[in-house]
Amino acid sequence: MSEQEDLSSDRLKHHFAQRVIHQARQVLEVWQRLQEREWNDTELAEANLRLLRYAERFGQDEHAQLARSIGQCLEASGANKGRLNSALITELNQLMQRLSRTGLRHGDQYEQTFLPPLRKPVYVGLQDRERAERLAQQLEFFGLSAQSFATANAFRAAMRERHPAAILMEVDFAGIGKGLELANEVQQDLEQKLPLLFYSEEETDTPTRLAAVRAGGQEFFTGSLDASTLLERIEVLTHVSQYEPFRVLIIDDSRAQATHTERVLNSAGIITQTLTDPIKTMSVLAEFQPDLIILDMYMPECSGTELAQVIRHNDRYVSVPIIYLSAEDDLDKQLDAMSEGGDDFLTKPIKPRHLIATVRNRAERARNLKSRMVRDSLTGLYNHTHILQLLDDTRTRARRDNLPVTFAMLDIDHFKKVNDVYGHPMGDRVIKSLALFLKQRLRKTDHIGRYGGEEFAVVLPNTDAATAAKVLDGIRQRFAEIHYPASPQDLSCTFSCGIAQLLDDVDSNELSKRADQALYVAKHGGRNRVDIFES
């Protein structure tokens, strides 16, 4: 077979793979929409059947197997009179996460170095042509194709030829306010609106931001324009978000009432766990980690208000919403209960829609609040305290299930020199770049944290040290290839990494010390390397 025929064959295979990936996205989008309303499996079943047909026709075995497993879950739901239960929701969500990783994080296995990039580019319209080119180059480092334009007509011509993955438009591109008009114009006739991000070098007024919203803008950047931050937003807007169903713990001594509440919430795709013995609450909380607790007011062994106070005594559960669900209709008693650890009071009997809406709204706000509390503001990664907490939780599960777990610590080499020579804004860019690199290349099940300064920590469940070293060494090599435009010359950075596996019954502090010792060896062994702890 000639080289030209090989090229055509590779293109054809890639085209078929993209068809399957597109259908996988359709399944994920339907699954995500179902979290916002009561369960109806018809639409999901139809989308999944199309995925199965495409995957079988085009020889995509992994997608085909996932589609079959999803179909089996939907059949089980049908056998249960169309109702979901927590086990089915959990299994479906795990399958959707796997589908997300194969579809949205698909490695272009059919692309060779001589093939042109086939992923849709991002269109960039900035007043400063040099800035636009520099930004496009930065996005290329992260594997995202970008195309910048000098004029509005060039942008229009490109839109007629091919639609982009997303558009970044300066509000004054091609004239004062013209960028807003141009973005609005190209979106007018599109049935499926494109992800649109606006930019302004100066802080803008409310009318400008309002015009951006009306033009379909989903993000507005001002001041400096950082490639890693931009890429994060583009990834969120162009990919289906990784949806994790809400988790609700129901504590009620009446099994009949608890089962009814459970069925109502399961019908909305919410995972539940029921507890009829309130004395076991704290151990169940540690294992189940709910987003919200539904609590009966009157139970024989302890009252709901007493249990709420016990829960609030533990710092880990201070922000978990507690909703009382009771037949108590005395307003004064309801208010007293809410003053003792509760967030809301619902009176039985309650309409299913009312219960679902209340739970969703409270749980969503709690998740957002928790995310802000446990994440580092610069990188969006977990902060020092929370990554160690996650290490402790993962270690406990690993010991219980007899599975390996590895902890890794990374440190950017010669970082002080970066700050001294290029300034702290450049240092922040490097830190954010490595954070994004780790998020892109590690699994959804891995926990990534900013340990402090230029140090990072990674918890890798169900992973031995040798596997972790191989993965992180690959990331190390790719990260070293990134170049940051700077003066007098471009900057590139490396990192060193220390790895420790949980091999004996040591606590989390000892495991982190071992990873730190391995990192010390890597640093003093020449840097830009990965070392595994050896006792």
Residue 243 has a pLDDT of: 67
Mean pLDDT, residues 135-159 taken together: 85
Mean pLDDT over each residue of the chain, to the nearest integer: 84
Residue 38 has a pLDDT of: 66
Strand 122-125 versus strand 146-148 pairing type? parallel
Residue 101 has a pLDDT of: 67
Structure tokens at 268: 């909305």
Fold match between 122-238 and 247-373?
yes
Among 238-242, 310-314, 511-515, the range with the most confident prediction by mean pLDDT is 511-515
Lowest pLDDT segment from 89-98, 206-215, 409-418: 89-98
Q: Given pLDDT bands bounded at 50, 70 and 90, which one contains residue 8?
A: low
How far apart are the C-alpha atoms of 304 and 295, rounded to whole Å?
6
Kindly indicate whether the domain formed by 247-373 is annotated with CATH number 3.40.50.2300: yes
Q: In the predicted model, is pLDDT for residue 386 greater than 60? A: yes
Residue 119 has a pLDDT of: 60
Q: Given pLDDT bands bounded at 50, 70 and 90, which one contains residue 223?
A: confident
Which of residues 74 and 16 earns the better pLDDT score?
74
Residue 239 has a pLDDT of: 60
Structure tokens at 478: 């790719």
Residue 117 has a pLDDT of: 34
Q: In the predicted model, is pLDDT for residue 390 greater than 70? A: yes
Residue 10 has a pLDDT of: 54
Q: Which residues pair with 206 in a beta bridge?
A: none
pLDDT in tens, 334-370: 888 787 888 888 888 889 889 999 999 899 888 878 8
User: Percentage of the chain surpassing pLDDT 90?
Assistant: 30
Domain borders along the chain are: 3-103, 122-238, 247-373, 384-532
Q: In the predicted model, is pLDDT for residue 384 greater than 70? A: yes
Residue 109 has a pLDDT of: 32
Q: In the predicted model, is pLDDT for residue 112 greater than 50? A: no
Q: Is the peptide bond before 278 cis (omega within 30 degrees of 0)?
A: no
Structure tokens at 505: 């019954």
Mean pLDDT, residues 440-447 taken together: 84
Residue 115 has a pLDDT of: 29
- Give the burial class of 335: count Cβ atoms within 10 A of its Cβ; 0-12 exposed, 13-18 middle, 19 or more buried: exposed
Mean pLDDT, residues 382-407 taken together: 90
Residue 343 has a pLDDT of: 84
Do residues 166 and 174 touch, judged by C-beta distance below 8 A? no
Q: How many CA atoms lie within 13 A of 332 on its CB side?
A: 0
How far apart are the C-alpha atoms of 484 and 226, rounded to whole Å?
11
Residue 15 has a pLDDT of: 60
For every residue of 191-255, DSSP letters joined together read SSPPPEEEEESS---HHHHHHHHHTT-SEEEESS--HHHHHHHHHHHHS-------EEEEE-S-H
Q: What fold characterizes domain 122-238?
A: Rossmann fold (3.40.50)
Residue 225 has a pLDDT of: 75
Q: How far is CA 39 from CA 44, 106, 267, in A?
A: 10, 29, 5
Residue 523 has a pLDDT of: 93
Mean pLDDT, residues 69-87 taken together: 81
Distance in angstroms between the alpha carbons of the first and the last residue of the chain:
54
Quote the Cα angle for 502-504-508, to 5°.
50
Q: What fold characterizes domain 384-532?
A: Alpha-Beta Plaits (3.30.70)
Residue 3 has a pLDDT of: 47
CATH, domain 3-103, list 3.30.1450, 2.40.10, 2.60.120, 1.20.120: 1.20.120
How many other C-beta atoms are found inside a 10 Å radius of the C-beta of residue 365? 15
SS3 state of residue 434: helix
Which of residues 237 and 263 earns the better pLDDT score?
263
Q: In the predicted model, is pLDDT for residue 107 greater than 60? A: no
pLDDT in tens, 463-477: 999 999 999 999 999
Structure tokens at 263: 């069925």
pTM to 2 decimal places:
0.63
Q: In the predicted model, is pLDDT for residue 307 greater than 50? A: yes
